Amino acid sequence: MAIVHIENLVKRYGNFVALDHLNLDIEKGEIFGLLGPNGSGKSTTINCILSLLKYDKGTITVFGKEMQPDTYESKAKIGIVQQNVAVFDQLSVYENVDFFCGLYIKDKKKRKELVEEAIQFVGLEDFKKSRPKKLSGGLLRRLNIACGIAHKPELIILDEPTVAVDPQSRNKILTGIQELNRNGATIIYTSHYMEEVEQICTKVAIIDHGRCLAIGTTEELKAMIKTGDTITIEAVVLKEEQIEEIRELPHVYKLTYEEQILKIKCNAGKHNLARVLNYLQDRDIPFGRVFSELPTLNDVFLEITGTELRD
């Protein structure tokens, strides 16, 4: 049984269709990535799952039950880290975590342990008495996370927790999510940063315009597309006919040449690096840095939608 089951979900804001017959199943033990550009419907999906938003059509079950706004039993098993930081300015770091943990954990001794553990987990030990206003953006995000996870929920939902966060906090957040997952939590993680999703998610759903366009592990998603490796060759001066000749080499799926940078996308599973370099060397064409990259989730997104998923 899926932990979260979403079937034919439709959500409209007035006449605007934000979720268009969305189907998703999130299984126990996954780090499930909901990857899509801004406005694709990620937060709307999360808020429907949590029953914070009314939806127009479809079914959602969480832990096998339909969620209601007051389903306390299910909510106690969920940890939510909203996109917008939601903490109390007039409470200290410790008091904030204690407040949110206290919604579910009434035993004081147990709660103290959990709060201490969550604060340590996000690395805010030195800021326990600080007010949120004193924290940097990254630390504030970490506090937001501590508030969401202190009660040790089975399902943790994080909505874009790394937006506008410094690299150190970002890294701590990403490795923290993996640790929570290793310790048994199922994770739903939304992002428009494909590298992050690629780094940590065991399963990815690509969404756009409120629809699920593709779903699978990153390997499965990459295997669905025609694009293979991307070869980049910098500082190479090419004539028009040479570009055309390279374009005609076997396994060239797509070629661009802009500002002396040659980019060749190969057909899936094929490799062209040696062939292209031989072509240049045979003609004594000098070139600068050369590198080859495996296909990314951006290639998947680009091929499915025709547009880039930009960071």
Binding site for ligand ADP (CB under 6 A): 13, 16, 18, 36, 38-44
CB nearer ligand ADP, residue 30 or residue 159:
159
CB nearer Mg ion, residue 11 or residue 42:
42
What is the smallest separation between the CB atom of 161 and ligand ADP, expressed in angstroms?
13
Query: Residue 44: which of Mg ion, ligand ADP, none does it interact with, CB under 5 to 8 A by kind?
Result: ligand ADP
Map the footprint of Mg ion across residues 162-181, applying CB under 5 A. Answer: none
Segment holding 178, helix H or strand E: helix 167-182
| CB atoms closer than 10 angstroms to residue 249 | 15
What is the smallest separation between the CB atom of 60 and Mg ion, expressed in angstroms?
18
| CB atoms closer than 10 angstroms to residue 69 | 10
| CB atoms closer than 10 angstroms to residue 241 | 8
| Beta strand segments in 28-154, E | 31-35, 57-62, 65-66, 78-81
Please give the Cα distance from 297 to 131 (Å, whole number).
39
Helices (H), 38-107: 42-49, 72-75, 93-102
CB nearer ligand ADP, residue 4 or residue 238:
4
Please give the Cα distance from 161 to 102 (Å, whole number).
22
Map the footprint of Mg ion across residues 42-61, applying CB under 5 A. Answer: 42-43
What phi, psi does 65 have (nearest 5°)? -120, 150
What is the smallest separation between the CB atom of 13 and Mg ion, expressed in angstroms?
13
Helix (H/G/I), strand (E/B), else coil: 241: helix
Please give the Cα distance from 63 to 78 (Å, whole number).
10
What is the smallest separation between the CB atom of 45 and ligand ADP, expressed in angstroms?
7
Map the footprint of Mg ion across residues 55-94, applying CB under 5 A. Answer: 83
210: tokens are 């409120």
CB nearer ligand ADP, residue 215 or residue 255:
215
Query: Residue 36: which of Mg ion, ligand ADP, none does it interact with, CB under 5 to 8 A by kind?
Result: ligand ADP
CB nearer Mg ion, residue 40 or residue 181:
40
What is the smallest separation between the CB atom of 181 and ligand ADP, expressed in angstroms?
22
The verdict on 96 binding Mg ion (CB under 5 A) reads: no
What is the smallest separation between the CB atom of 42 and ligand ADP, expressed in angstroms?
3
Query: Residue 39: which of ligand ADP, Mg ion, none does it interact with, CB under 5 to 8 A by kind?
Result: ligand ADP
**Is the separation of the CB atoms in 203 and 216 below 8 Å?**
yes
Residues with Cβ within 8 Å of residue 6, at least 6 apart in sequence: 22, 23, 24, 25, 45, 48, 49, 58, 59, 60
CB nearer ligand ADP, residue 150 or residue 194:
194
What is the smallest separation between the CB atom of 163 and ligand ADP, expressed in angstroms?
10
Query: Residue 40: which of ligand ADP, Mg ion, none does it interact with, CB under 5 to 8 A by kind?
Result: ligand ADP
What is the smallest separation between the CB atom of 51 and ligand ADP, expressed in angstroms?
15
In the sheet that 211-216 helps form, which strands lie side by side, from edge to edge?
A: 78-81, 155-159, 186-191, 31-35, 203-208, 211-216
CB nearer ligand ADP, residue 40 or residue 227:
40
CB nearer ligand ADP, residue 17 or residue 285:
17
- Residues contributing to the site for Mg ion (CB under 5 A): 42-43, 83
